[in-house]
Structure 1
Amino acid sequence: MTKTSLPIALLCVMAFGGGASAALAMPADPSAPYFATIDVRRDARPDDRTIAGVVFDDGNHNGRLDAGEHGVAGVKVSNSREVVLTDQAGRYALPVRPDMAVFVIQPSGWRVPTDERWVPRFAYQHKPAGTPKALRYGGLPPTGPLPSAINFPIIPTQSGQNFDCAVLGDVQPASNIEVGYVRDSLVRELVNAPTRPACLLALGDIVSDDLNLIPRTAEVMGAVGVPQWWVQGNHDYDHDADHDIDSSDTWRRLYGPNNYAFEMGQAVFIVLDNVSFPCGEDPREARERPFCKQYWKTYAGRLLPDQMTFIANVLKTTDPKTLVVFAAHIPFVGFDNSESQPHQTANLDELYALVKGRPALSLTGHSHTLENMAPGDSMAGWKAATGVSTIPFRHLVAGAVAGDWWGGDYDIDGTPMSIQGDGSPRGYVDFAVKGANYTLDYRASGLPRDRAMWLSVSTPAFRDWADKIFAWRDAPEDKRDPVPPFSVQDLPDVKLLTPADLAGQSWLTADVWMGDSTTQVMVAIDGAEPRPMTRTQEMKGEGVRSGSAWSDPFALQRQLTMARAAIQSRSGDPETQGYVQGRQKRLPPQPPQPRGSRADHSPHVWRYDLPTTLAEGLHRAVVTVTRDQGEASRDTLVFEVRPTRPKPTFDFEHWDRFKNQ
C-alpha cells in the first residue's frame, strides 16, 4: 500500500517542516524519571492496511491518552521504513508491514518515557505469528492482531540545544562476573562523574551471545539514571535463527527496535542494525561477498534496501542543517580491519549520497579499538570492501567498555585492565553537542578524566624482546615451549638509556588515543623549543603497518605478560582456577604469558627520534596535544641516560662485603 492511499485526515505533511509543535505543558527536568509505556488500544479496527494513533503530550505522565491531553504536531513516526509527520492534532497513519516495529522518533525538546531501568519505551513490535521456530533465548512471541491504535506519549524537556552523551563501544559481558565488571567500572565512573550525561548511546554487543544477560545488564547500566539508547551488535543476535528477519527477535522482545531514530537538540540519531546475519540472503551479498555462502551462518556489514529507504525518509523530514549522527555496530570503515569485508559496511557510496551536503558523524564499535578518522582519510582495502576510497565526514570507532574483551591482569579496582589491540585503554567517549557542532573526548576507565595518552620509549632491546614473544605467540601452541621466552621482568627499563641504546635508534612514543589526521603532537625536551612528533600512520591510502617498530611500547609491556593466567588455589572449584575470558573455555593454570590482543599496530601513535648526542643524566620530555574536535592535553615523560645500565635489583654482593656494626 502506498502512502498516498492512506486516509487524508490522518496523513501527515511529508514536506520538510519545523518539527514538533511547542510544548503545551511546562518542560520537565531532563534528569527526572518519566517511567511509563506506550498506549496500545485494542478496539475494533476499520481495516488491516494501516496503523494509526496519536502522539500526545502526556500531562499526567501515566502513558495513557486521557481526556484533556493534546496531540503534538510535526512529530516523526515510522514503521521502520516509511516516516510520516503527525498532523495538527498529533495524528499519524502508516501502512502495515507483515513484520515491523512502529515507533515514534523522539522529537527535539521532548522525551519519550522509559521503564524503571531507563530503557526508552517508544515502540510497538508487530509480528502476528511470532518467531517461526523455537529459539534458544525465546525469540518474539506472537503479537496477534494489529491494535486499533498505537498512541505515543511524550513530555517536554528542558534539555536544550547543548547536551553530552556517553558513547559506549562494546560493553559485552559474557558472564555474570563480567556484568559485575560493567557495574564496577563504567557505571561507577558515570555515577561519580562531575556531571551526568543526558543519555547513554551503546553501540552494540551489549552482551556476548548470552542474551539472558540483557535484563541484568540493562538494570546495572540503568543505575546511571539516564535514557540508554542501544544498537544491536553481532553478539546480540539469535544465532540459531534461520533468517536475518528473525535473528533480532529476542532483542526486540528484551529491548526494542533494531532500527530507529531519535532527536536531541539540533541532532538526529539514526540507529542502524548493519549486521546482516545470516548473510547471503540478499542477492548482492552472494555476488559481492562470496564468504556469505562459504560458511554456515556468518555475518557481514551491510545496509539493506529497507534501511536505506528509512534513512532517506528520516532525512526528508529533517532540517538539512541538523547534525546527522549514524549509530551502528560494525564500522562503516575501519583501520584495524581495513581490508576485511565482514567487519566493514558494504554499499557506503549509497549512504554517502543520501547524506551529501549535511553535517554528519558515524559512531560505531565492534573492533575493540579506538579509531578517530577525519574527513579525507583513506586506507588500502576500503574501496574493495566498502565501495569508497575516502570518507566525507568523521567516522569514530569508539573503543570498548570491555576493552580487550575483559582480558588482561586486574587493576586496583579488581577489574581487568583489558588494554585494546590499538593500545588504548578501555573506556567510553564523551560526546558533547553544542547546536550542530560537537566534540569527542575519551574517558579512560580507572584513570584520571583528563588523561589522554600513554608515553614511552622504543629501544632496540624493547623491539628485540617484543619480536621474540611475538614469534612464540604465533607458533602452534602444541609445538612451542609452554613457558614464553621472556616476560616483562626480562625487559630492561626502557626509560633508562645508554649510549648504545641511542646509537641503535631509540624514540619517544606518544599513543594519543583520540588522535587523528588533524591532531598536532609536539614534544619539548628539557625546556627546548617544542618539536613536532611524527604520526606512524598517515591514513593517506597506505596499508596497516604492524610490528614492534610500529607498536605502542607502553601497552605491549602490559599485554605480553599476563600473570592472571597462572592463578590457582586449593578450593576445589574448577571454575576459579586458571583463566577464562568471554565465551572461551576456561584454561588451566599456565605460566604468565600473552593472551588476547597486542598493540603492534595503531592509528594514533606518534614518535620522536631521540638524538644520539643526548647528555648523560635526567631528561624531561613534555608532550602537548592539540585536537580540532576535542580537549587539548599534556603529559610528561622523565627518562635517563647513563653510561652503562646499572644493576636492576638489590645489590647483595656489595651489601655482603660489609658487616653491620
Structure 2
Amino acid sequence: MQRRSFLRSLGLLSAGLALPAAPALARAVAFVTRQVNGKVTAQGRGIAGVAVSDGYSVVLTDQQGRYQLQPHYDARFVFISLPAGYEIPNEQGIARFYQPLDPAAAQQVADFALQAMKGGDERHSFIVWADPQMRNNGYDAEQFHTTSVPDTKAHVATLSHGPVFGIGCGDIAFDHFEVYEDYKKGVAAVGIPFFSLIGNHDMDYTARTDNGSQATFNQLFGPTYYSFNRGKVHYVVLDDVFFIGAGHRYIGYITEEQLRWLERDLKFVPAGSTVVVAMHIPSNTGAQAREALKEDPIGGVVMNRQALYKLLQPYKVQIISGHTHWNEVWEQDNITEHNLGTLCGAWWSGPVCGDGTPNGYGVFEVNGSDISWHYKATGFDRQHQMRLYKPGAVPGKPGSFMANVWNADERWAIEWLEDGVAKGAMTPYTGLDPLAVELYEGAEKPSRNKGVEPNITSHLFIATPSATARMLTVKATDRSGKVYEERLMLNA
C-alpha cells in the first residue's frame, strides 16, 4: 500500500508525454473589447430561452433565438447549454456544442443550428466511462477496442427507453496524447454522442500555470466546463483538476471562475430540479475514514467542495466522478455521489480495480426527474453485481465467507441463505478484496504495472456458515428493489 498512492501525494504521477501549451494572448489583444452575436435555431426557426456562455457570463436567447455577449478577455469559447428535446451536435460521436473565439476579432458571429429530437428525451440513458486511461496505442488501445467498446455498444442496444449519450469522465489518456485518436475511434464505434471532461492525465504539464494546462484538451474537445439539458435533468461538467505548476502535481479544486459561472448557470434552473454534476476527481470519498488518514488526500478529493455543495443545495443532485480506480456510492442530504470503477480497471493490468470491482462503466437510466443506475462489468451481463469467496478468505475469520457487492450503498439489503434456508443480513466488512490481493499485492505484481496495489474497501460483506453447509446463496437487493443473486458451492 506504500508504493502507489496518487491520493496521498499531491497527485504526484509518473512523467509522460505532454504537448506544449498554447501561447498566451498578447496583452494588446487581450484587452480588445469583443462582441459575439449569434442565433440558435432548429429547422431555420429561432429557439428562445437557450443559455449561451463564454465560461464567464451567461445570457439567454430572445424570442427569435438571438443572443449577444461581450466575452471575457480570457474566454476561449462560446457555447450553448444544449436545450432539452434536441439532438446532441457531434462529429463522429464527439459532442460539438461550442465554437472557438477569435482573440483578435472585435466582432464575431457564432450561430448554432440544432435538430429537434423525435419522441423527446424525458426518458433517456447515459453511459459513463471513467478513466479509459490508455498509456499507448498498443496493448492498452487493443484492450479498449476489443473489450470495452463492443461491450458498451452491445449494452447501449439494451437501453430501449429513449436516447442514449455518453460521458468520458476524464483521464481519457495516460499522458500520451496520441491515444486520443483511439478514444475517438472507440466513441464513433459505440454509436452514441459523448461529452468529454478533463482529468489529471489529460493536462499539459509543460504549462506554466493551470490556465495553460488545458490547451491540448481544448483543441480536441472544447471547453473544460459547461452544461447541457436532457429532458427534465440539468447536466453540469466541471474541471476540478488544478495543476500547481510543478512536475505532475495537482490538487482537487474548483476555481473561482468556475464557481461564479456555475452560480450564473444555475439561476436558470428551477429549485427542486435534478442536477447531475460530472467531474474527474470525486468531491469526497470514504478513503480518509477507511485508511485512518488525519486529513483528506488533497489530490484525491475536491478541497473546496463545500462551496460547490452550497451552490447545489436547492437541487436533487447526482455527482459522478472517476480518478480513484475503485467503486463507491455515498449519500448525504441532497447529494448522491457515484465514484465509479474504471474502464481500464487497474490501468489495464488485470480484470478488476484495486477494490475488486470489475473493469467496467456506469449506466444511468432517467425517467423524468428520477434516476436509477447500475454498474456494468465488461464481459459480463447486467446481473453480475457481486463476487463470492469461500470460507478462509477473510483474515482472522477462517470460518467466514465473503461477498464483494461493488455497487452497494446503505440502501441495499445484502442477505444470505445456507442450503436454501434464509439466515438474514450479512455483516458489513471493511478490508481488501481477495482477488485484488492475489493479482496486485506485492512488489512484483502485476507484471505490467508493478505500482498497482489493492485498495481497502467497505463494500464487502461476511457471514459464517455451519460446518455442514453445502451451498451458500447471497441475495443483494438494490434501492429500486431489483434483486441480484449468486451461489457458492462448498465441498461436501
| TM superposition score normalised by structure 1 | 0.65
Q: 2:63 aligns with which of 81, 84, 88?
A: 88
Q: Cα distance, 1:192 vs. partner? A: 2.1
Equivalence for 1:154? 114
Q: Establish whether residue 365 from structure 1 lines up as the match of residue 350 from structure 2.
A: no
| Residue of structure 1 equivalent to 2:308 | 351
Instruction: Give the whole-Å Cα distance in 2 for the aligned partners of 1:186 and 1:372.
Output: 22
The question of whether the paired residues in 2 share the 8 Å contact of 1:76 and 1:86 is answered with yes
Alignment of 1:321-332 (within 5 A): 321-332=272-283
Contact 1:161 1:265 in 2 (8 A): yes
Which residue of 497, 514, 519 maps to 2:412?
519
Structure 2: distance between partners of 1:269 and 1:454: 33
Instruction: Report how many residues are paired.
Output: 448
1:231 corresponds in structure 2 to 197
1:126 correspondence with 2:88: no
- Tell me, yes or no, if structure 1 residue 179 matches structure 2 residue 179: no
- Which shows bigger deviation, 117-126 or 330-339? 330-339
How far apart are residue 622 of structure 1 and its match?
A: 1.1
Q: What is aligned with 1:74?
A: 49
Cα offsets for 1:372-391 (capped at 9, x unmatched)? 11226xxxxxxxxxxxxxxx
Higher gyration radius (CA): 1
| Distance across 1 between alignment mates of 2:164 and 2:485 | 28
Q: Which of residues 433, 441, 448 is equivalent to 2:366?
A: 433
| 1:331-480 equivalent positions in 2, closer than 5 A | 331-336=282-287, 339-375=296-332, 392-408=334-350, 417=351, 419-459=352-392, 463=395
- Match of 2:403, SS state, is strand
Give the Å deviation of 1:551.
2.2
Q: Report the counterpart of residue 556 of structure 1 in structure 2.
A: 437
Report the Cα distance in structure 2 between the residues aligned to 1:147 and 1:622, rounded to whole angstroms. 68
Question: CA separation of 1:307/1:240 partners in 2, compared to 1, >3 Å: closer, same or farther?
Answer: same
Matched, 1:596 2:477: no
Among candidates 39, 50, 58, match of residue 54 of structure 1? 39
Match of 1:98 in 2: 73
The residue that corresponds to 1:195 in the other structure is 158
d(CA) in 1 for partners of 2:448 and 2:462? 35
Judged with a 3 Å threshold, the aligned counterparts in structure 2 of structure 1 residues 342 and 71 are, in CA distance, closer, same or farther, namely same
SS at match of 1:597: coil
Distance 1:83 1:632, change over 3 A: farther
Q: For residue 111 of structure 1, give the secondary structure of its aligned residue in structure 2.
A: coil
Q: Is 1:314 aligned with 2:265?
A: yes
| Distance across 1 between alignment mates of 2:102 and 2:341 | 35
Matches of 1:97 and 1:432, distance apart in 2 = 37
CA distance in 2: counterparts of 1:239 and 1:366, whole angstroms: 18
State whether residues 399 and 428 of structure 1, in contact with CA within 8 Å, keep that contact through their aligned partners in structure 2.
yes
For 1:138, the equivalent position in structure 2 comes to none
Shift of 1:296: 4.5
Distance in 1, matches of 2:176 and 2:482, equals 37
Letter in 1 for 2:403: A
Deviation, 1:458, is 4.6
Residue 303 of structure 1, aligned match among 241, 254, 277: 254
Contact 2:94/2:187, CA 8 A, preserved across alignment: no
Q: 1:252/1:87 Cα in 2 relative to 1: closer, same or farther (>3 Å)? A: same
DSSP-derived class of the 1:192 partner:
helix
> Which residue does the alignment assign to 1:635?
486
Runs of 4+ in structure 1 off by over 6 angstroms are: 561-565
Q: Would the aligned equivalents of 2:418 and 2:465 in 1 still touch at CA under 8 Å? A: no
Letter of the structure 1 residue corresponding to residue 349 of structure 2: G
Q: Which residue of 2 aligns with 1:467?
A: none
1:53 match: secondary structure: strand
Verify the 8 A CA contact 2:470 2:491 in the aligned structure 1. Answer: yes
Q: CA–CA distance in 2 between the matches of 1:563 and 1:103?
A: 48
* Contact preservation (8 Å) 2:272, 2:314: no
SS at structure 2 position matched to 1:235: helix
Separation in 1 of the partners of 2:486 and 2:320?
Answer: 28
Among 108, 115, 124, the residue aligned to 1:163: 124
How far apart are 1:327 and its partner, in Å? 0.4
Aligned amino acid, residue 596 of structure 1: V
- Give the 3 Å change call, closer, same or farther, for CA 510–273 of structure 1 in structure 2: same
- Where do 5+ consecutive residues of structure 2 fail to align? 1-31, 290-295
* SS of residue matched to 1:368: coil
Deviation digits for residues 280-334 of structure 1, max 9, x if unmatched? xxxxxxxxxxxxxxx6451001111111111111111012232100100001001
Hey, what does 1:623 align to over in structure 2?
Answer: 474
Cα distance in structure 2, aligned partners of 1:595 and 1:248: 27
Residue 229 of structure 1: SS of its match in structure 2?
Answer: strand
Deviation at 1:629, TM superposition (A): 5.0
**Matched residue type, 2:404:** D
User: What is the rounded CA distance, in whole Å, between the counterparts of 1:604 and 1:76 in structure 2?
Assistant: 41
For residues 163-210 of structure 1, what are the alpha-carbon distances to aligned partners after superposition, in whole Å with 9 as ceiling and x for unaligned?
111111111111002122111112111222243561111110011111
Corresponding residue for 2:3? Answer: none
Answer whether contact 1:232 1:273 (CA < 8 A) is retained: yes
Residue 353 of structure 1 deviates from its aligned partner by 1.3
1:420 to partner: Cα distance: 0.8
> Residues of 1 paired with 2:106 and 2:481: CA distance?
48
CA 1:297 to 1:404, structure 2 compared with 1: closer, same or farther past 3 Å? closer
Provide Cα deviations, 1:624-643, integer angstroms capped at 9, x if missing partner.
111115742111111135xx
Alpha-carbon contact 1:272-1:328 (below 8 Å) kept: yes
Give yes or no for contact 2:34–2:107 (8 Å, CA) kept in 1.
no
Q: Which has the higher strand share?
A: 2
Letter in 1 for 2:147: S
Secondary structure of the residue aligned to 2:218 is helix
Conservation of the 8 A alpha-carbon contact between 1:125 and 1:257: no
Superposed displacement of residue 505, structure 1: 3.6
Q: Distance in 1 between matches of 2:264 and 2:74?
A: 19
2:178 match = 212
Residue 8 of structure 2 corresponds to which residue in structure 1?
none
The match for 1:507 is 400
CA deviation string 1:258-279 (max 9, x = no partner): 1111111111110001101126
Structure 1: unaligned runs, 5 residues or longer: 1-46, 60-68, 129-143, 280-294, 377-391, 409-416, 465-503, 538-549, 566-578, 582-593, 642-661
Alignment RMSD, CA only? 2.3
TM-score after normalising by structure 2: 0.86
Displacement after TM superposition at 1:146 (Å): 5.0
Deviation at 1:523, TM superposition (A): 0.2
Q: Distance in 2 between matches of 1:52 and 1:218?
A: 31
Deviates more, 1:233-242 or 1:152-161: 152-161
How far apart in 1 are the matches of 2:63 and 2:437? Answer: 61
Maintained 8 Å contact 1:261/1:268: yes
